[in-house]
A and B are shown apart, each in its own frame.
Chain A
Amino acid sequence: MAAAEVIRSEWTKIRSVSSTVWTLSLAVLVTLALGMLISALTRSQFDNMPVRERLSFDATVVSFAGMTLGQLAMIVFGVLVVSNEYSTGMIRVSLAAVPQRGTFLFGKIAVATALALMVGMATSFAAFFLGQAMLGSLRTHLGDPGVLRAVIGGGLYMTLIAMFSMGVATMLRSPLLSLGILMPFFFLVSNILGNVDATKKVGRFLPDQAGSRIMQVVPRIGDDTPYGPWGGLGIMALWVVAALAGGYVLLKRRDAQ
Chain B
Amino acid sequence: MIELEGLTKRYGEKVAVDHLTFTVRPGIVTGFLGPNGAGKSTTMRMILGLDRPTAGDVRIDGRHYEQLKDPLTSIGALLDAKAVHGGRSAYNHLLCLAQSNGIPARRVAEVLDAVGLTAVARKKAKGFSYGMGQRLGIAGALLGDPRILMFDEPVNGLDPEGIHWIRNLMKSMATQGRTVFVSSHLMSEMALTAEHLVVIGQGRLLADTSMADFIRQHSRAYVRIRTPQRERLLDVLHEGGITVVETGGGALEVEGGKAERIGELAARNGIVLHELSPQQASLEEAFMRLTAESVEYHAHAEPTARVPQDWGAGWKGA
List A residues at the B interface (Cβ < 8 Å): 2, 5-6, 8-10, 12-13, 16-19, 84, 88-100, 253, 255-257
Contacts and interface: CB of A to CB of B under 8 A. Distances in A.
A56 B79 CA distance: 61
Contact of A16 (B69, B83, B92, B100): B92
Contacts of A19: 87
Nearest to B11: A255
A121 B71 CA distance: 38
B50 A96 contact: yes
Contacts of B72: 96-97
Interface in B73-123: 77, 79-80, 82-89, 92, 95-97, 99-102
Contacts of B97: 9, 93, 97
B48 interface: yes
B88 A16 contact: yes
Interface string B151-186: 000000000000000000000000000000000000
A257 B101 CA distance: 21
10 contacts: A5-B70, A6-B100, A9-B100, A16-B87, A17-B87, A90-B85, A97-B72, A98-B100, A99-B65, A257-B51
Given A16-B89, A255-B45, A93 B100 contact: no
A10 B96 CA distance: 7
B86 A88 contact: yes
A13 B88 CA distance: 8
Contacts of A12: 92, 95-96, 99
Contacts of A18: 87
Contact of A88 (B69, B70, B83): B83
B83 A93 contact: yes
A97 B83 contact: no
A3 to B, nearest CB: 11
A127 B65 CA distance: 49
A88 B99 contact: no
B66 interface: yes
Contacts of A88: 82-86
Given A5-B100, A18-B87, A92-B50, 12 more contacts: A5-B102, A8-B99, A9-B100, A16-B88, A17-B85, A89-B80, A90-B83, A90-B84, A94-B100, A96-B50, A96-B77, A257-B51
Contacts of B51: 255-257
B52 interface: yes
A255 B17 CA distance: 15
Contacts of B71: 96-97, 99
